[in-house]
Amino acid sequence: MKLGTLKDGTRDGRLVVVKRDNSVYATADGIAKSMQEALDNWDEAEPKLQELFEKLEAGEVDGEPVDVNDFHSPLPRAYEWIDGSAYINHIVLVRKARDAEPPETLETDPLVYQGGSGHFLAPTEDIPLPNPEWGLDFEAEIAVVMGDTPRGVSKEEAGEHVKLLMLVNDNTFRNLIPGELAKSFGFFQSKPATTFSPFAVTPDELGDKWDGGRVNLPLETDYNGEFFGDPEAGPEMHFSFFDLIQHVTKTRSFTAGTILGSGTVSNEDQSKGSSCLSEKRMLEKIETGEFKTPYMQVGDTVKIEMKDEEGNNIFGTIQQKVVDAS
Amino acid sequence: MKLGTLKDGTRDGRLVVVKRDNSVYATADGIAKSMQEALDNWDEAEPKLQELFEKLEAGEVDGEPVDVNDFHSPLPRAYEWIDGSAYINHIVLVRKARDAEPPETLETDPLVYQGGSGHFLAPTEDIPLPNPEWGLDFEAEIAVVMGDTPRGVSKEEAGEHVKLLMLVNDNTFRNLIPGELAKSFGFFQSKPATTFSPFAVTPDELGDKWDGGRVNLPLETDYNGEFFGDPEAGPEMHFSFFDLIQHVTKTRSFTAGTILGSGTVSNEDQSKGSSCLSEKRMLEKIETGEFKTPYMQVGDTVKIEMKDEEGNNIFGTIQQKVVDAS
């Protein structure tokens, strides 16, 4: 099934079930007020939401027409947002771009950082740019929403803790990264508010494309109205979501609604383009000796979506414009 | 006023107002169910909670007797937990302990990390130790709870965003830190669930001891029933909470209920003892050439509290025992 969160003036919005073709939605009245409330009581809420979804699909419930501008990120705020960096090609390229070496444990020990989770941007919300010299970049990713997850989950057990999937734009201030990482405490200032796709879907919506903790579909990014990349999200995800769950649960447990990201989707095949400006810039540097594409400036736009093999837009579209916030 | 959260079987517990002498509490019925709900509606809830507190103080409301074992951390889970490291003496000692250099910007650019916030330990809850070789340490700190805080707050404006203060035990697996920081993405696995004091108080409860974003009182730690440290929390806090708020709001805003920590309280005067084992171990190494005090093992206990000049226990006591979780 497909879920979303309508903006309704409250902090956490109103939970709705969305028809598979993204045409209409029905509010989850009497089941759960918000996405967090549904996740907090998932075993009880999930079958009721599923039933409503099936009625909506069958036309037995009249829906309201979807306007994605009315949708917030599925969780407008979350208790944790943890982002991995599971695509080796991305790590190698962006570290090269800032003259840093990949860690020695690149292929054996996953990279994850704890992100800010108190305020996410809505899927079509403008991205505020306080200072163009901070080097604003987008990063197109996939994320899972976890249910209650205890400490010490093995990758074999991890699948049962994945309740929903969605897309991410992990907005980043590239030029603030070196100073932050030099202090070794993480990305803090270099990560402004993150954006998620309008809709979150249960894993079964992906059919056999959800396989072993990877999503075997291309993730499409357009930049300023033109193709920017459509790398395959599955094969080159070196650490699967199941590996990442095993990794993050080594020393602690997680509450329902914890979001875990894949990191920027990236393929070695350059014909697939990129999912962030930094990679494109590094490829330009390697080829021509200089960075050509600037980071995002006021007015630039980014669009991120994922289609199934029949061309259906699974998660709805992240579509954002950069605005002056100086 | 003084607030707390009673364990009631729900995820977020039940908000209560606590008498200044910690003897009795009254539930905040009709004002807010949980601490988060109160913080989400602080302007409306705060005067009502204050009124209830004054009635409790005046004996106009009968309270129930306080047993701190019935209390959860004031926020059993929070949307963000950000921890600073504002005491220079601590940074210098713990980096020396792991053969790392302090950052060049030690005195000009605050260190903060984004912590896990989906699951906190209760103030008297056992600390699970999955593996004694991970080097479990306590870290006694102070934290503020922020209200809604926009991007770009100056240190001069920061005070109005501080709604509550509490104490922290920032549990840490010391031996997992080097591997995590080597990857430069932050502490992730080296920080298990954090513990907070039973009670959170409004800044006015500290009177003139809350001054310029610092708490001018000693923070007392006992280890295995013996004195371990009582460093002054104010004078050597190089970056005040107001500095830290200015720092963290550079690139994003924060939702009500965001927790911001001071980092381990530490004084240069060694007669004041320490607030974590790592500092004590480093001082032993400097003096004798070897680390003597081991990290926490099953059965070890830690107690953290702060008293005002009249000896009143302001935040209640964090009192925890390490238990086997292998």
Tell me whether 0.95 is exceeded by the ipTM.
yes
Beta-carbon separation of B79 and A118 below 8 A: yes
Question: Considering chain A, what is the average pLDDT of its residues?
Answer: 96
Task: Give the distance from residue B61's alpha carbon to the nearest chain A alpha carbon, in angstroms.
Answer: 33
Residue B74 near residue B35 (C-beta atoms within 8 A): yes
CA-based torsion, A133, A139, A143, A149: positive or negative: negative
Residue B123 near residue B198 (C-beta atoms within 8 A): yes
From the list B109, B183, B258, the residue facing A111 with the nearest CB is: B183
Task: Nearest chain A residue to B116 by CA: give it.
Answer: A80
Mean per-residue pLDDT, B191-220: 98
Mean per-residue pLDDT, A30-55: 98
Chosen from B36, B37, B114 to mutate, greatest number of chain A CBs within 10 A: B114
The reported pLDDT for the residue numbered B176 is 97
Task: Give the distance from residue B185's alpha carbon to the nearest chain A alpha carbon, in angstroms.
Answer: 5
Give the confidence band of A104 by pLDDT, cuts at 50, 70, 90.
Answer: confident
Mean per-residue pLDDT, A278-307: 95
From the list A119, A251, A255, the residue facing B118 with the nearest CB is: A255
Tell me the chain A residues in contact with residue B77 when contact means C-beta distances shorter than 8 Å. 79, 255
Among residues B318, B315, B324, the alpha carbon closest in space to that of B297 is found at B324
CA distance B232 to B223: 18
Of chain A, the percentage scoring pLDDT greater than 70 comes to: 100
Is 90 exceeded by the pLDDT of residue B183?
no
From the list A105, A252, A258, the residue facing B192 with the nearest CB is: A252
Task: Give the distance from residue A248's alpha carbon to the nearest chain B alpha carbon, in angstroms.
Answer: 7
Beta-carbon separation of B252 and A193 below 8 A: yes
Q: Which two tokens stand for residue B136?
A: 């479990």
Tell me the chain B residues in contact with residue A103 when contact means C-beta distances shorter than 8 Å. 182-184
Mean per-residue pLDDT, A24-47: 98
Tell me the chain B residues in contact with residue A40 when contact means C-beta distances shorter than 8 Å. 11
The count of other CB atoms within 10 Å of the CB of residue B175 is 17
Mean per-residue pLDDT, A6-16: 98
To which H or E segment does residue B96 belong?
Answer: helix B88-97
Beta-carbon separation of B252 and A116 below 8 A: yes
What count of residues does chain B have?
326
Tell me the chain B residues in contact with residue A247 when contact means C-beta distances shorter than 8 Å. 189
The reported pLDDT for the residue numbered A30 is 96
Chosen from B136, B137, B185, B264 to mutate, greatest number of chain A CBs within 10 A: B185
Question: Given phi > 0 = left and psi -120 to 50 = alpha, else beta, which region is B201?
Answer: beta
CA distance B232 to B142: 11
Beta-carbon separation of A40 and B11 below 8 A: yes
The reported pLDDT for the residue numbered A99 is 81
Tens-place pLDDT, residues A119-156: 999 999 999 999 999 999 999 999 999 999 999 999 99
Beta-carbon separation of B118 and A183 below 8 A: no
The reported pLDDT for the residue numbered B103 is 80
Beta-carbon separation of B189 and A250 below 8 A: yes
- Tell me the count of A-B CB pairs closer than 8 A: 141
The reported pLDDT for the residue numbered B17 is 98
CA distance A151 to B128: 10
Residue B25 near residue B70 (C-beta atoms within 8 A): no
Task: Give the distance from residue A232's alpha carbon to the nearest chain B alpha carbon, in angstroms.
Answer: 25
> So where are chain B's domains?
2-70, 77-324
Q: Which two tokens stand for residue A23?
A: 């045409």
Give the confidence band of A322 by pLDDT, cuts at 50, 70, 90.
Answer: very high
Tell me the chain B residues in contact with residue A118 when contact means C-beta distances shorter than 8 Å. 79-80, 254-255, 257-258
Residue A305 near residue A317 (C-beta atoms within 8 A): yes
Residue B292 near residue B103 (C-beta atoms within 8 A): no
CA distance B201 to B315: 7
Mean per-residue pLDDT, A175-191: 93
| Look-up of token digits 């169910």 | B33
Residue B176 near residue A247 (C-beta atoms within 8 A): no
Beta-carbon separation of B255 and A77 below 8 A: yes
Task: Nearest chain A residue to B79 by CA: give it.
Answer: A79
Give the confidence band of A21 by pLDDT, cuts at 50, 70, 90.
Answer: very high
From the list A119, A252, A325, the residue facing B193 with the nearest CB is: A252
Question: Considering chain B, what is the average pLDDT of its residues?
Answer: 96
The reported pLDDT for the residue numbered A97 is 76
| Residue B140, φ and ψ in degrees, nearest 5 | -85, 130
Beta-carbon separation of A247 and B103 below 8 A: no
Beta-carbon separation of A111 and B255 below 8 A: no
Which of A107-111, A276-280, B104-108 is least confident? B104-108
Beta-carbon separation of A116 and B11 below 8 A: no
Tens-place pLDDT, residues B85-108: 999 998 988 888 778 888 888 899
Beta-carbon separation of A253 and B119 below 8 A: yes
Q: Which CATH class is domain B77-324?
A: alpha beta
Task: Give the distance from residue A90's alpha carbon to the nearest chain B alpha carbon, in angstroms.
Answer: 15
Is 90 exceeded by the pLDDT of residue B209?
yes
Tens-place pLDDT, residues B125-159: 999 999 999 999 999 999 999 999 999 999 999 99
Mean per-residue pLDDT, A71-83: 98
